[in-house]
Amino acid sequence: MMPRHQASGFSNGYPREKTFDLSPHSFQPRTSIAAQRQRKRLFIRLGIVFFVVILITLWVWPKSAFASVLSLGLLGASSELELETVRYYDLTNVQGTARGWEREERILLCVPLRDAEPHLSMFFSHLRNFTYPHHLIDLAFLVSDSKDRTLEVLSDNLEQIQADADPKQPYGEVSIIEKDFGQEVNQDVESRHGFAAQASRRKLMAKARNWLLSAALRPYHSWVYWRDVDVETAPFTILEDLMRHNKDVIVPSTTNNFVDVWRPLPDWLGGEQPYDLNSWQESETALALADTLDEDAVIVEGYAEYATWRPHLAYLRDPYGDPDMEMEIDGVGGVSILAKAKVFRTGVHFPAFSFQKHAETEGFGKMAKRMKYSVVGLPHYVIWHLYEPSVDDIKHMEEMEQERIAREKEEEEKKAKAAKLKEQFGDGADTWEQDKQELKELKEKAAEEEKRRVKEEKAKVAQLKQNTNKEKPAAQDEKATTNQAKPKAKQEKSRAKQEESEVDDEKPAAGKGKSKAKQEQSEVDEEKPRANREKPKASRQKPKPKQEKLAQAEVEDDNVVAGNSEKKRFAE
């Protein structure tokens, strides 16, 4: 086929000058014409300009959103300042399961604090020991109306734990919330547990808990754990142990452990005492009682004023019982509560008003029940609450301390006396030796006379010894009588170690006396003096199971009640 325009030039318009010129037609597609090429050049130029402009903008404004779109997010620096304002959470993912640690479920640990500086170091030692992965636990503290250095100590400790070199130590979100409610109620045990102050105190505590929770609960929490700062001993695995039960609300049993600072103390009441009486099962009596009270009344457990006859979690404890045993309860104590976050999300809280005649944690239990959540206690799974001496106990401790000092003083005196005697005796021996030597020398001279003298000396020493022996019991008797004169039965218990067995026997009797102080007053009055020393059997006769029934009205600081009843007796 012959090209049509062969004579004039190529089909693309170039003149044909030299037949064998390779340029440019050999590189050009046949369709390419000058105009097209020109346009193409223009595009390339525009492209280059555009590219340069973008490069400049990226270099000048590396953080603009436009730049990040252009760079397809490849430049790390560009997204550094991106502000996340939208968050999406699916609450079905945070329901809480029995094996939360495997599913990386987050726990919110809530701790209400008030003048708690002395307890913080103990609390932080617990915190370090939790076996649940720390990064899955968010901590929230509410510091309210504190007059000591709670806040400073707390934040120092938290900073420390967050900066810990061990990557397993730091926790998740840590928030300290400050809010003063202007509580005028004193925080020592006496005023905290005094009956009259209970209702308003509990309502304030409830408010504090609600403020803490509402400020700290997030959509990603699966569990909420409430813990008192003054828990002394608790298993490190407590979170997993409670979680394993997969209940909506679960509490362990709480017991009071007497501190071993005062050596005679462990013998009081056998060394342990149930602390948290707020975990209980509802009883008919209490329900009937609730109906008689006015709208704003709050039933507080553990006071003779409201005898509710409820079975308490704390009294059901058996040291050898199965720690996994569950028990349905209606009221909950606040020392250590593990609850699914959904319980709090759907509205269960700590009523700061009288809800079905209860407030705070007990009202919480009631409300959770009302919303058909499972509320369970573990009677044989025990954590130990720090022993807080009541005002009476403190007085008693002081007395005991004085006694101890007096006793030591006495002992010292005795020692001094004995030393003196020894000296005298030693002197006597010396003379005896000398005499012996003399005897040897003057063997035959005055043998009989010397023997008589030695006998005399011995007799003298023996008499002196006898005298000191007599003195000791006399001193003790004196003390005993002074103790007896004092109205408090418990002082007897603390007195001497040889009386230990008696003391143990006394305990139930004493407890009983307190619980049914009014009904059994006469019985107690008869029983007490006897039980104290001569007839431990009298108290032993009381059947143990009865104690459970009696337990209802018993108070954590029931010593006070007992003390009062005894005082009355003495007044009579």
Partner 1 sequence: MARPMGSVRLKKANPFTLLLGTVLCIFILYFLISPSSTPSSTTRVVVDSARHHLSPPTSPYRKPKSDAAVELGPPPVTRYNLNNVTITADPIGNQEHVLILTPMARFYQEYWDNLLKLSYPHGLITLGFILPKSKEGNAATALLQQQIQKTQKQGPEKDRFKSIIILRQDFEPSLQSQDESERHKMANQKARREDMSKARNSLLFTTLGPATSWVLWLDSDIVETPPSLIQDLAGYSKPVIVANCFQKYYDAETKSMAERPYDFNSWQDSDVAQKLGASMGPDDILLEGYAEMATYRLLMAYMATNPSEKDTVVPLDGVGGTALLVRADVHRDGAMFPPFAFYHLIETEGFAKMAKRLGWQPYGLPNYKVYHYNE
Site for partner 1 in 13-72 (CB under 8 A): 14-15, 17, 21, 23-24, 38, 41-42, 45-46, 49-50, 53, 57, 61, 64-66
Q: Which residues contact 513 (CB under 8 A, 6 or more apart)?
A: 520, 523, 524, 527, 528, 562, 565
3-state SS class at 557 = coil
Considering the complex, what minimum distance in angstroms separates the CB of residue 147 from partner 1?
Answer: 15
Considering beta carbons, is residue 74 or 485 the nearer one to partner 1? 74
Considering beta carbons, is residue 155 or 547 the nearer one to partner 1? 155
| Angle CA 122–387–506, to nearest 5 | 150
Q: Considering only residues 267 through 286, tell me which ones interact with partner 1, judged by CB under 8 A.
A: none
**Span of 169-177, 231-239, 375-383, 444-452 interacting with partner 1 by CB under 8 A:** 169-177
**Span of 12-20, 310-318, 425-433, 442-450 interacting with partner 1 by CB under 8 A:** 12-20
Considering beta carbons, is residue 64 or 283 the nearer one to partner 1? 64
**Span of 154-162, 317-325, 420-428, 491-499 interacting with partner 1 by CB under 8 A:** 154-162
Q: Considering only residues 215 through 244, tell me which ones interact with partner 1, judged by CB under 8 A.
A: 215-219, 221
| Angle CA 82–84–89, to nearest 5 | 150
Considering the complex, what minimum distance in angstroms separates the CB of residue 139 from partner 1?
Answer: 9
Q: Considering only residues 435 through 454, tell me which ones interact with partner 1, judged by CB under 8 A.
A: none
Amino acid at position 298, single letter = V
**Span of 123-131, 165-173, 239-247, 431-439 interacting with partner 1 by CB under 8 A:** 165-173
| Cα gap 26→8, rounded to integer Å | 17
243 touches 274 (CB < 8 A): no
DSSP state letters, 92-156: GGGS--TTTTTTT-EEEEEEEESS-HHHHHHHHHHHHH--S-GGGEEEEEEE-S--SSHHHHHHH
Candidates 353, 407, 423, 546; binder of partner 1 (CB under 8 A) is: 353
| Cα gap 307→301, rounded to integer Å | 8
Encode 314-356 in three state secondary structure.
HHHCCCCCCCCCCEECCECCCCEEEEEHHHHHCCCCCCCCCEC
Considering beta carbons, is residue 268 or 373 the nearer one to partner 1? 373
3-state SS class at 178 = strand
Considering the complex, what minimum distance in angstroms separates the CB of residue 281 from partner 1?
Answer: 20
Q: Considering only residues 452 through 481, tell me which ones interact with partner 1, judged by CB under 8 A.
A: none
Considering beta carbons, is residue 223 or 381 the nearer one to partner 1? 223
Considering the complex, what minimum distance in angstroms separates the CB of residue 123 from partner 1?
Answer: 15
Q: Considering only residues 201 through 220, tell me which ones interact with partner 1, judged by CB under 8 A.
A: 206-207, 210-211, 213-219
Q: Considering only residues 318 through 347, tell me which ones interact with partner 1, judged by CB under 8 A.
A: 342, 344-347
Considering beta carbons, is residue 108 or 383 the nearer one to partner 1? 108
Considering beta carbons, is residue 64 or 246 the nearer one to partner 1? 64
What number of other Cβ atoms are within 10 A of residue 294's Cβ?
7
DSSP state letters, 454-493: HHHHHHHHHHHHHHHHHHHHHHHHHHHHHHHHSS-THHHH
Q: Is the peptide bond before 24 cis (omega within 30 degrees of 0)?
A: yes
Candidates 16, 126, 135, 486; binder of partner 1 (CB under 8 A) is: 135
Considering the complex, what minimum distance in angstroms separates the CB of residue 148 from partner 1?
Answer: 17
Q: Considering only residues 73 through 102, tell me which ones interact with partner 1, judged by CB under 8 A.
A: 73, 76-77, 79-92, 94-95
**Residue window 363-402: x/- pattern of binding to partner 1, with contact defined by CB under 8 A:** -------xx-------------------------------
| Cα gap 34→17, rounded to integer Å | 18
Candidates 122, 176, 290, 297; binder of partner 1 (CB under 8 A) is: 176
Q: Which residues contact 81 (CB under 8 A, 6 or more apart)?
A: 63
Q: Considering only residues 487 through 516, tell me which ones interact with partner 1, judged by CB under 8 A.
A: none
310 touches 282 (CB < 8 A): yes
- Tell me, by CB under 8 A, how many residues bind partner 1: 81
Quickly tell me which residue has 């006495």 as its tokens. Answer: 410
Candidates 112, 311, 351, 563; binder of partner 1 (CB under 8 A) is: 351
Q: How far is CA 190 from CA 48, 199, 241, 507, in A?
A: 85, 15, 34, 22
Considering beta carbons, is residue 84 or 441 the nearer one to partner 1? 84
Considering the complex, what minimum distance in angstroms separates the CB of residue 217 from partner 1?
Answer: 5
Considering the complex, what minimum distance in angstroms separates the CB of residue 215 from partner 1?
Answer: 4
Q: Which of 147, 131, 113 is nearest to 230 (CA)?
A: 113
Looking at residue 383, what DSSP letter applies?
A: E
What number of other Cβ atoms are within 10 A of residue 489's Cβ?
21
Q: Which of 524, 532, 508 is nearest to 564 (CA)?
A: 524
- Per-residue burial over 380-400, b if 16 or more Cβ lie within 10 Å, else e, is bbbbbbbbbbbebbeebbeeb
Per CB under 8 A, 195 contacts partner 1: no
Considering the complex, what minimum distance in angstroms separates the CB of residue 30 from partner 1?
Answer: 18
Considering beta carbons, is residue 88 or 320 the nearer one to partner 1? 88
